[in-house]
Amino acid sequence: MNTNRSIVILMAEDDPDDRLLTKDALAEAHLANTLIFVEDGEELMDYLYRKGGYNEENAPRPGLILLDLNMPRKDGREALEEIKADPDLRSIPVVVLTTSKAEEDILRSYDLGVSGYITKPVQFERLIQVMQALGRYWFEIVELPH
Amino acid sequence: MYTGLEERRAAADRAQEEALRVALLAKSNQMALIEGARQLITALTQLPEIQDSDPQMCSAFLSELLPLYPDYADLGLVTPDGNLICHSGFFDAGLNIADRPYFVDGLRTGEFVTGDFVISRIDGNIILPFVHPILDKNGEVQAVVLATQKLNWLEGVGSQANIPDEAVFLVLDHQGQILSRYPQTGDWIGESFPDMAAVRSAVDASGNGVAVLTGEDGIQRLYAFSFLDIGRNGAYISYGIPTELAYRSVNRNLLTNLATLSLITLVSLLAAWLIADYTILRKVHALVAATQRLAEGDLGARTGLTPSDVFAAGELSQLARSFDQMAAALQERDTKLRQAEAQYRMLVEQIPAITYVVSLENPTETLYISPQVENILGYAPQEWMSQKGIWGSHLHPDDRFRVLDEYHKMVNEGIPYRLEYRLYNRHGEIRWIQDAGNIVKDSTGTALFLQGIMVDITELKQTEAALKKYAVELERSNRELQDFAYIASHDLQEPLRKIQAFGERLQIKYGSSIDPGGRDYIERMCSSANRMQTLINDLLSYSRITTRANPFAQVDLNKVMRDVQEELEHQISRTNGWVEVGNLPVIEADRTQMQQLFRNLISNALKFNRPGVPPHVKVFIDENPETPEGNSTVSIYVSDNGIGFDEKYLDRIFLPFQRLHGHTVYDGSGIGLAISRKIVERHNGRITARSTPGVGSTFIITLPIHPSGHENGDTNEH
């Protein structure tokens, strides 16, 4: 459980409401992980490469990336492609969390190597459940590379 | 003034010319009579009845012959001494013509000789004598055939020619003695024409001339003279028109009835021919002669003969009548042909298209082009025809190569062509032309020319282009509308989701600290948000019928119905309902949508039940469809025993979000039937319903069994 706390969840989400709701849901789910937000694909890559204001100190390597697909500047699809093309970053599990239910997006995301694809639930209650499930799966059940 | 004088002079010139022409015609008539006489007498010299010189037989024959030739005073045969052997009855029995100049000439030459006009010693009439010697084997004159022709034709010709008042025909001897005159007013025969010296000086070397002279009756006329070279002295034929009349204007009547004049000439000729072959071929020759005239194009000509006329005998007059009838029939046919041609021409020149004829030897040469070329291309027909190669040079450069290539290919192969191309008009504007033509051949298959028709289809092309543009525009705007519906419902979901989420957060997290009134507001807000969620989802499903469509495949509707019943199992058992399904066909359709369609209809049928009456839904097909499409469609009935509806709402129930009942009584957004109709329409089918309130409803879906491979709407995935 001690190690769990140190695992950072990095969420790329441009919608402040969704950021707030996700943060609330994580709290409600009683997960103690650190949740860090970036607002678009560009910022996500900056974080991962520790550029543009991010460094070893303020940008710890995330244990899980929650990725929205539709974002300004650089969208989730492009960012995902870059992450999976990078030998250092590709081992970080990425779960897509988006409003899109399009078959094409689902197929493409798995093609690019996502670990999961979740459609944003309408009800908050369901969002809490999603966060709980994610926490249990990634931080209790599976073993992640260090 | 000047013009007046000019006109007058021109009129005088024309009058002279025409008077001379009439005189010449009259002369040719006399010459034809003489020719007739020559042939008659020549023929007589060949006949055994004459050659035998048997007075009795010869007399009998000539007496029989004379009535057939009323132009002749007498026919006879004389000895080389000039004594009469036999005759047709009018000569004096003791006649001797040895002293007559023409007889002397005949004996000398051994040939046919025409004498001068003489006054008959028998009755005082003017006659023209002819002789033709018959030679024996040694070339000696054996006998001489004699004929005297009456100078009475002027009367017949004159009366039929319908000459103007005071105009005269005259026959004068070389000294100016009047031999014949028409009209026969006054007793002028035997009198002298006043100024013979003037006549002689008027005629030129060819024997023709015109002079203004005062006539025997004191009237000044424009006389035309023509010299008749007969006998030893000759004679003159003259036609005179009163100067006043001649110089006044060009009067078409001056010409008299030229046709009549020439006709009489020809009839005389015909008579001569007939007698020439009197014994054998007269009918044949008559027909040949007549046919010849017709062949020469004189359809208006007739023999003009009646039984009492020239041919007194029955057989010949019958022939004449037959000839007239034939000519009349031909003329009628000709008239009809002309009318048909006029109609054809009118048609050709009235239709809004250019008809043309092009030479095959030189394809750049237009032989005919209809007047419409002016309207359509701005060139007058003459202008178009005078410029060789004008068509080719006016072809649009983008079409030229293709059109010329196809055109030449088809012309060379002799097959009809149909081309569409752009042609510049005179003003350089583009006209779209549809051109069809072929080679016209004669009955032997020889190619004559190229004939075709060019239709101006510019407007058609413009309309077509506009229509195409409009269709593209419509498709685009339709697609936009679909995209809009889809995207809008997508994007509307986002804020709605927030309203729902934060509403929920508010209820759960702060519910306890808000008073009941506030909680009620929050509840209402959340419930509205939920309803909106339903509406948006419905709208999405509605738009997905076309945006998320699957291609058509063979669908067994029986299987579809089993799946639907399975899906609705809960609703069926809850309402205590019964769904009865007959045997359904296999059709070509989108399976998912068929399931959606029947799920909607059956769910509706179960939903709108009457309180206390368990729903009974029947699904069946019409065994004997009476649709215009016959067997190519299938009509499926979904009937229930529910609440029914007033049929005046029939139009509304198929529109999106149209409901006939309040939310509290029957739930649902009212999208079900709208979706159903959209599905049916995508399958090129129809949906309608019949209903009686309180009894039940029947929905009728007519679907094509094979929707002809064409589906309504696109299958784009979004």
| Span B607-641, pLDDT tens digits | 988 888 999 999 998 765 555 555 688 889 999 99
Contact state of A24 with B493 under an 8 Å Cβ cutoff? no
From A140's Cα to the closest Cα of chain B, the distance in A is 28
In chain B the first and final C-alpha atoms are separated, in Å, by: 95
To the nearest whole angstrom, how far is the Cα of B495 from the nearest Cα of chain A? Answer: 10
pLDDT of B379 reads 92
Q: Judge whether residue B260 has pLDDT over 90.
A: no
Residue B557 pLDDT? 92
Whether the predicted pLDDT of B176 surpasses 50: yes
Range in A48-57, B229-238, B293-302, B583-592 the model is least confident about:
B293-302
Residue with tokens 């000039």: B82
Higher-scoring residue by pLDDT: A43, B45: A43
User: Helices B258-276 & B2-46, crossing angle to 10 degrees?
Assistant: 10
The ipTM assigned to this model is 0.71
Q: What is the pLDDT of residue A143?
A: 80
CATH superfamily of B551-704: Histidine kinase-like ATPase, C-terminal domain (3.30.565.10)
Residues of A in contact with B500 (CB under 8 A): 122-124
Cβ pair B605, B698 in contact under 8 A? no
Superfamily of domain B6-29+153-257: PAS domain (3.30.450.20)
Which of B504, B510, B592 would best serve as a mutation to test chain A binding (most A beta carbons within 10 A)? B504
- Residue B588 CA: distances (Å) to CA of B553, B626, B686: 5, 21, 15
Q: What is the pLDDT of residue A43?
A: 92
Compute, in degrees rounded to 10, the torsion defined by CA atoms B55, B57, B59, B62.
Answer: -140
| Residue B293: predicted pLDDT | 59
pLDDT band at B30 (very low <50, low <70, confident <90, very high): confident
DSSP-derived secondary structure letter, B675? H
Listed in order, strand segments (DSSP E) in A1-146 are 8-12, 34-38, 64-67, 94-98, 116-119
Q: Is the pLDDT of residue B304 over 70?
A: no
The amino acid occupying position A48 is: L
B493 touches chain A (CB under 8 A): yes
Distance CA B131, CA B146 (A): 5
Candidates B493, B508, B717; nearest CB to A104 = B717
Locate the domains of chain B by residue range: 6-29+153-257, 30-150, 280-346, 359-438, 462-544, 551-704
A92 within domain boundaries: yes
- pLDDT higher than 80, residue B393: yes
Is A141 domain-assigned? no
Between positions 496 and 555 of B, the ones with CB within 8 A of A are: 497-498, 500-502, 504-505, 508, 533
pLDDT tens sequence across B200-234: 888 888 888 988 888 888 888 889 999 988 888 89
Name the residue with higher pLDDT: A87 or B294: A87
Question: According to the model, what pLDDT value does residue B126 have?
Answer: 87
Q: What is the mean pLDDT of residues A41-50?
A: 92
Task: Please report which confidence band the pLDDT of residue B270 belongs to, taking 50, 70 and 90 as the band edges.
Answer: low
Distance between CA atoms of residues B395 and B522, nearest Å: 78
State the Cα–Cα distance between residues B650 and A73, nearest whole angstrom: 51
What's the rounded Cα separation, in Å, for the pair B504 and A128?
12
B30-150 and B551-704 have identical folds: no
Please answer whether residues A52 and A40 qualify as being in contact, where contact means their C-beta atoms are separated by less than 8 angstroms.
Answer: no
User: Angle at the Cα of B58 (from B56 to B64), degrees rounded to 5?
Assistant: 105
| CATH number of this structure's domain B359-438 | 3.30.450.20
Please tell me the total count of domains within chain A: 1
pLDDT score recorded for residue B708: 61
| Residue B153, pLDDT above cutoff 80 | no
Burial class (CB in 10 A: 0-12, 13-18, 19+), B641: buried
pLDDT of residue B423: 92
Q: Is residue A87 in some structural domain?
A: yes
Q: Please state, in angstroms and rounded to a whole number, the distance separating the CA atoms of residues B527 and B600.
A: 24
Element (H, E) at B23: helix B2-46
Please answer yes or no on whether B501 and A122 come within 8 Å at the CB atom: yes
For a pLDDT cut of 90, what percent of chain A falls above it? Answer: 37
Is the pLDDT at A131 greater than 60? The verdict is yes
Residue B714 C-alpha, separation from nearest chain A C-alpha, in angstroms = 18
Q: Comparing B118-132, B192-206, B257-271, B356-370, which segment has the lowest mean pLDDT?
A: B257-271
d(CA B89, CA B61): 11
Instruction: Using alpha carbons only, give the angle B231, B233, B238 rounded to the nearest 5 degrees.
Output: 100
Average pLDDT, chain A: 87
pTM score, whole prediction: 0.43
Residue of B215, B202, B88, B187 whose CA lies nearest to B145? B88
Q: What pLDDT, on a 0 to 100 scale, did the predictor assign at position B93?
A: 73
Which residue from B minimizes the CA distance to A25? B505
The residue among B242 and B421 whose pLDDT is bigger is B421
pLDDT at B367 over 60: yes
Longest dimension (CA), chain B: 173
For residue B118, give both structure tokens. Answer: 């003489």
State the Cα angle at B496 between B493 and B498, rounded to 5°: 115
Q: What percentage of chain B has pLDDT greater than the value 90?
A: 19
Asked if B717 and A124 come within 8 Å (Cβ–Cβ), the reply is no
Write the burial class of residue B315 (CB in 10 Å: 0-12 exposed, 13-18 middle, 19+ buried).
exposed
For A17, the closest of B490, B498, B508 (CB atoms) is B498
From B455, B195, B495, select the one nearest B348 (Cα to Cα).
B455
In contact, B698 and B637? CB cutoff 8 Å:
yes
In the predicted model, is pLDDT for residue B570 greater than 50?
yes
DSSP labels for B127-163?
EEEEEEEEE-TTS-EEEEEEEEEES-HHHHHHHHHTP
In this predicted structure, what is the pLDDT of residue B662? 67
For residue A74, being part of any structural domain is answered with yes
Average pLDDT over residues B496-508: 87
> What pLDDT is recorded for position B285?
44
Q: What pLDDT was estimated at residue A36? A: 93
Query: What's the mean pLDDT in A22-26?
Result: 89
Nearest CA in chain A to B501: A124
**Mean pLDDT of the B359-372 span:** 86
The fraction of chain B above a pLDDT of 70, given in percent, is 83
Q: Which residue has the tokens 């008559």?
A: B286
CATH of the domain at A38: 3.40.50.2300
- The pLDDT of residue B215: 87
**A145: in domain:** no
Return the ∠ at Cα B123 (arms to B121 and B126), rounded to 5°.
75
Task: Please say if the pLDDT value at position B306 is more than 60.
Answer: no
Of B493, B494, B500, the CB nearest to A123: B500
Contact between B497 and A124 using a beta-carbon 8 Å cutoff: no
Instruction: Examine the pLDDT at B597 and tell me if it is beyond 50.
Output: yes
Residue B705 contacts residue B587 (beta carbons within 8 Å)? yes
State the average pLDDT over residues B310-329: 53
The parent domain of residue A47 ranges over: 2-134
- Is B483's Cβ below 8 Å from some Cβ in A? no
1.10.1740.10, 1.10.10.10, 1.10.287.130, 1.10.150.530: CATH of B462-544? 1.10.287.130
Strands A64-67, A94-98: parallel, antiparallel or unpaired by DSSP?
parallel
Flag whether pLDDT at B15 surpasses 80: no
Q: What is the mean pLDDT of residues A63-75?
A: 89
B604: left (phi over 0), alpha (psi -120 to 50) or beta: alpha
Q: Is cis: bond before B67, omega within 30 of 0? A: no
Given a cut of 90, is residue B336 above it in pLDDT?
A: no
Q: Which residues have a Cβ under 8 Å from the Cβ of B85 and sit 6 or more positions away?
A: B53, B55, B58, B76, B77, B78, B79, B143
Residue type, B177: Q
Quick check: B431 pLDDT over 50? yes
B30-150, what's its fold?
Answer: Beta-Lactamase (3.30.450)
Which H or E run contains B285? helix B282-295
| Residue corresponding to tokens 């949906």 | B687
The mean of the pLDDT values for chain B is 80
Q: Using CA atoms, how far apart are residues B245 and B241, in angstroms rounded to an integer? A: 7
Contact by Cβ (8 Å): B414, B447: yes
- Integer angstrom CA distances of residue A123 from A103, A119, B174, B361: 22, 12, 142, 89
Residue A47 has pLDDT above 90, yes or no: yes
